[in-house]
Chains A and B, each alone.
Chain A
Amino acid sequence: MNDDDSPIPSDVLPRDVAPPAHLESTIRARLTEEDLLRPPRQQWRTAFAAAAVFAVGVATGIAWRSDEGPSQADSTPRFLLLLYPGTRPPGGAPDEARAVREYAAWAAAERARGRVVTGERLAANALVVGDDSRRSESDDTALQGFFLISARSADEAGRVAAASPHVRDGGRVIVRPIDTPR
């Protein structure tokens, strides 16, 4: 009885037992479903999906405003923000997913203020139609995307552009007023 309270011979028990092979993929699938893991090959797809969500969000904003009747966007000047690459060379590999998140957050904030009307990213190819003898080929594909915004003045539109992630990431934005017939 004296010996009864000594530890059981646990040193014969292995510290590790291999879990069934399927368990890892089951757990990984759940985590991917919850967007906690992203397979490398799907990162681009995720980025595009986020961009699509952003575009849908913008479109939803427009629809919502049109349901509300005449809106601030109808009565205030509008400006096109044209997004071009800057002179600063891109540093390292671009983090597409992060960029999309930043653009989406910026656009959502501006939309909440009633400024962003729409926006799209442009693909990197261009079909040139008509006389382009005075232009270089690089000009045609330089435009990376655009936002259509409403702002009370060109200065305000400039401030919106300056605060955009595109400028923060070293890009260049050209602000062009929409010429509305009076």
Chain B
Amino acid sequence: VSDSRDDHDLVEGVRRGSEAAFAALYRRHAPRAYAVALRMLGWRRTDADDVTQEAWLRAVRSMPGFRGASSFPTWLTGITIRCALERLRVRTADPLGDVDEPSSAPAQAPEVQVDVERAIAALAPGFRTVLVLHDVEGFTHAEIAALLGIDAGTSKSQLSRARQKVRARLTAPLPEAMP
């Protein structure tokens, strides 16, 4: 059952500790945040679960300071991205981190979607992050540069190389190329 209250009212409700308001807000916006986490983390579901959980915990803890300058989903997406970046940094620091859980691109989805998801998931984390943020989430290079602590030129060149890799994978006669 969907809740007809707008996000502002639901955020107010969560601030007051309403579990019902939290449930409505979560069901409305969690799928979007989860999709962002999954793609940034190369469809590693355990990581995406952890990141989504951490993002919601941080969001609710920070709600007293949420002034509504951006919409709630935009704000939540920002938190989710930061949590995902932290997780990627931990994985990068751990030499075994990238092999302990296989990627799991969606099994029940149109073939073309599966191909694109797998091609993105197979990218190295740096390329994948820039490509997901720019081509899927619509961030500008300036925004990506600020989020990642790189300059906009680096973001552009990373995106260009990421696109080439995805395209090469999509046109290659794969079929056993699952990352």
Residues of A whose CB lies within 8 Å of any CB of B are 4-10, 12-20, 23-24, 26-28, 30-32, 34-40
Contacts and interface: CB of A to CB of B under 8 A. Distances in A.
A26 B38 CA distance: 18
A18 B106 CA distance: 11
Contact of B116 (A12, A31, A32): A12
B26 A24 contact: yes
A4 B31 contact: no
Contacts of A35: 17
B160 interface: yes
Interface string B111-126: 0110011011000000
A23 B30 contact: yes
A19 B49 contact: yes
A10 B116 CA distance: 8
B57 A8 contact: no
Given A7-B134, A16-B32, A32-B19, 9 more contacts: A4-B163, A4-B164, A5-B163, A10-B135, A27-B53, A27-B56, A28-B22, A34-B61, A40-B20
Contacts of B60: 31, 36-37
Nearest to B168: A4
A31 B31 CA distance: 19
Interface bracket on B: 35 or more
A19 B47 CA distance: 12
Nearest to B45: A20
- Please give me the 3 A-B residue pairs with the lowest Cβ-Cβ distance, nearest first: A16-B31, A17-B35, A19-B34
B117 A13 contact: yes
Nearest to B32: A16
B67 to A, nearest CB: 18
Contacts of A16: 31-32, 34-35
Nearest to B27: A24
Contacts of A38: 17-19
Contact of A37 (B22, B27, B30, B134): B22
A31 B35 contact: no
A14 B113 contact: yes
Nearest to B20: A40
B69 interface: no
30 contacts: A4-B164, A8-B119, A10-B135, A12-B112, A12-B116, A13-B116, A13-B136, A15-B32, A16-B32, A16-B35, A17-B106, A19-B48, A19-B49, A23-B49, A23-B52, A24-B23, A24-B30, A26-B53, A27-B53, A27-B57, A28-B19, A28-B23, A31-B60, A36-B17, A37-B17, A37-B22, A38-B17, A38-B19, A40-B18, A40-B20
Contacts of A26: 53
Nearest to B29: A16
B65 interface: no
Interface string B22-66: 110011001110110011000001001100110011001100000
Contacts of B113: 12-14
B85 interface: no
A1 to B, nearest CB: 9
B89 interface: no
A16 B134 CA distance: 17
A14 B32 CA distance: 9
